[in-house]
C-alpha cells in the first residue's frame, strides 16, 4: 500500500547529494542568501494566516520562507511566462498570422512540480498558484494534481497494481497527456478527474475544471518521467518550465513519519477515511507502519522512477533538515 499518509507519492533512502543522471554543470547553483536578495523591493502579498492555510501537514513554511524563496521564484516564473507569450507573438508576426488568429493561439504557460512524498511539493504548488496570480502578467493560475489521473481502485485491482499505486504504471498516462495537450492548445474548458484522499480513490461524479488560464501548474510525483517509448509523448514534453523539490532522503523519511503521526490524530480519525484503520495505533506501531511503507514500497519507486528524473527539471529547490530551501539550481539557458 503506497503512502498511507494519503498521497500516491513515494521517496526512499537515497541522499540528495548523490549525483543526478546528468552533470550538475547544466545548472547554475544559487545560495540561499544570494537568492533571497532577489526579493528586495518586492511586496509580500500574503498574510501569515494565508500561509498557514496553504502549508501541508508537517511543513514549516512561514512568511520569511515565502518572502526569501518563493516570492522571487514566482516572479521568475512570471517573467518566463511573459517572455514565452512575447515569443509566440513575435513568431506569429514573422509567419504573418492575422492578429485575430494569433490571439486565439495564445496558450497557457505550463509549469510542472515534481518531488518526493512529504518533501512539500504540494504546498509549493499551492503557494506558487497564489503568488503568481498576484503578478500583473499572470493573474489567472490553475493547479492540477496528477492524483486525479490515477486509475480507479477497481481498475488497479483488476490489473494487480494496488500495491504499486503511485508507480508510473498506476496512472492513466495517456489521459494526463491528452488533458495537458487540450489545455496547451487553448481549449475553452478542460476537465480532469478528481481524486479524494479521504476515500483514496477517484470520484466518478467530480471534476477539476480548467478554463483558459494564464498559467497551469501540474503537480505530481512522476510528472518529469520521460516518454515510455521513442514515439510517445511525455507530459513533461508539454511543460514550459519544471521544478524538482529535493532533499536528503533521511530528512524526508522523518518528515514522512511525522506526517503519518499527525494524520493519525487528524484525518485518519474520521470514520469515513480510508485510513481510519490506523487511527488507533500506538506511537510505536504507527512509526513502524509508516517506516514499513517507506521501505517496502516507496524506496523502490524512488530508485526506479523518481530521483532519476531530477536532472530533467528547469530548476531544483534543495531543502535542508528544517524544510527550508538552502539553495536553488537553475538550468542554464
Q: Average of pLDDT values for 126-147? A: 95
Share of the chain above pLDDT 70, in %: 91
Beta strands in 38-155 (DSSP E): 109-115, 141-145
* Residue 8 CB neighbour total at 10 angstroms: 23
Which pLDDT band, with edges at 50, 70 and 90, does 15 fall under? Answer: very low
User: Binding site: what residues are annotated?
Assistant: 115-122
Lowest mean pLDDT among 75-79, 121-125, 190-194, 297-301: 297-301
Lowest mean pLDDT among 21-35, 45-59, 74-88, 125-139: 21-35
pLDDT at 18 over 70: no
pLDDT at 16 over 70: no
Q: Determine the pLDDT at residue 17.
A: 41
pLDDT at 61 over 70: yes
The string of pLDDT tens digits covering residues 299-311 is: 788 778 889 999 9
Domain residue ranges of the chain, discontinuous segments joined by + = 24-140+238-331
Compute the C-alpha angle 156/157/160, nearest 5°: 85
Q: Determine the pLDDT at residue 20.
A: 47
Share of the chain above pLDDT 90, in %: 66
pLDDT at 113 over 90: yes
DSSP state letter for 136? T
Which pLDDT band, with edges at 50, 70 and 90, does 277 fall under? Answer: confident
Q: Determine the pLDDT at residue 3.
A: 64
Provide the whole-model pTM.
0.90
Which pLDDT band, with edges at 50, 70 and 90, does 245 fall under? Answer: very high
The string of pLDDT tens digits covering residues 43-57 is: 989 999 999 999 988
Superfamily of domain 24-140+238-331: P-loop containing nucleotide triphosphate hydrolases (3.40.50.300)
Average pLDDT, the chain: 88
Q: Determine the pLDDT at residue 297.
A: 83
User: Binding site for ATP: what residues are annotated?
Assistant: 115-122
pLDDT at 285 over 90: yes
pLDDT at 160 over 60: yes
pLDDT at 23 over 60: no
Amino acid at each position: 500500500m503506497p503512502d498511507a499518509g494519503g498521497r500516491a507519492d513515494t521517496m526512499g533512502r537515497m541522499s540528495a547529494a548523490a549525483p543526478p543522471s546528468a552533470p550538475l554543470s547544466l545548472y547554475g547553483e544559487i545560495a540561499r542568501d544570494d537568492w533571497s536578495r532577489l526579493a528586495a523591493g518586492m511586496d509580500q502579498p500574503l498574510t501569515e494566516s494565508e500561509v498557514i492555510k496553504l502549508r501541508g501537514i508537517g511543513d514549516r513554511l512561514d512568511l520569511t520562507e515565502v518572502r526569501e524563496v518563493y516570492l522571487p521564484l514566482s516572479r521568475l516564473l512570471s517573467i518566463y511566462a511573459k517572455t514565452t507569450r512575447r515569443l509566440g507573438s513575435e513568431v506569429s508576426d514573422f509567419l504573418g498570422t492575422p492578429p485575430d488568429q494569433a490571439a486565439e493561439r495564445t496558450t497557457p504557460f505550463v509549469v510542472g512540480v515534481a518531488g518526493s512524498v512529504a518533501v512539500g511539493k504540494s504546498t509549493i504548488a499551492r503557494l506558487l498558484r497564489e503568488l503568481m496570480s498576484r503578478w500583473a502578467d499572470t493573474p489567472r493560475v490553475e493547479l492540477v494534481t496528477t492524483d486525479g489521473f490515477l486509475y480507479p481502485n477497481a481498475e488497479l485491482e483488476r490489473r494487480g497494481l494496488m500495491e504499486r499505486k503511485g508507480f508510473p504504471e498506476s496512472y492513466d498516462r495517456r489521459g494526463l497527456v491528452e488533458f495537458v495537450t487540450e489545455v496547451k492548445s487553448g481549449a475553452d474548458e478542460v476537465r480532469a478527474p478528481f481524486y479524494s484522499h479521504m476515500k483514496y480513490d477517484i470520484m466518478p461524479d467530480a471534476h477539476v475544471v480548467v478554463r483558459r488560464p494564464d498559467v497551469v501548474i501540474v503537480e505530481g510525483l512522476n510528472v518529469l518521467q520521460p516518454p515510455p517509448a521513442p514515439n510517445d509523448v511525455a507530459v513533461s514534453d508539454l511543460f514550459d518550465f519544471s521544478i524538482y523539490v529535493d532533499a536528503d532522503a533521511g530528512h524526508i523519511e522523518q518528515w514522512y513519519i511525522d506526517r503519518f503521526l499527525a494524520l493519525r490524530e487528524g484525518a485518519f480519525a474520521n470514520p469515513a477515511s480510508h485510513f481510519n484503520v490506523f487511527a488507533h495505533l500506538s506511537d510505536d506501531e504507527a512509526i513502524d507502519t509508516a517506516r514499513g511503507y517507506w521501505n517496502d514500497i516507496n524506496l523502490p519507486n524512488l530508485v526506479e522512477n523518481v530521483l532519476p528524473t531530477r536532472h530533467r527539471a528547469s530548476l531544483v529547490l534543495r531543502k535542508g533538515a528544517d524544510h527550508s530551501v538552502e539553495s536553488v539550481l537553475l538550468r542554464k539557458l
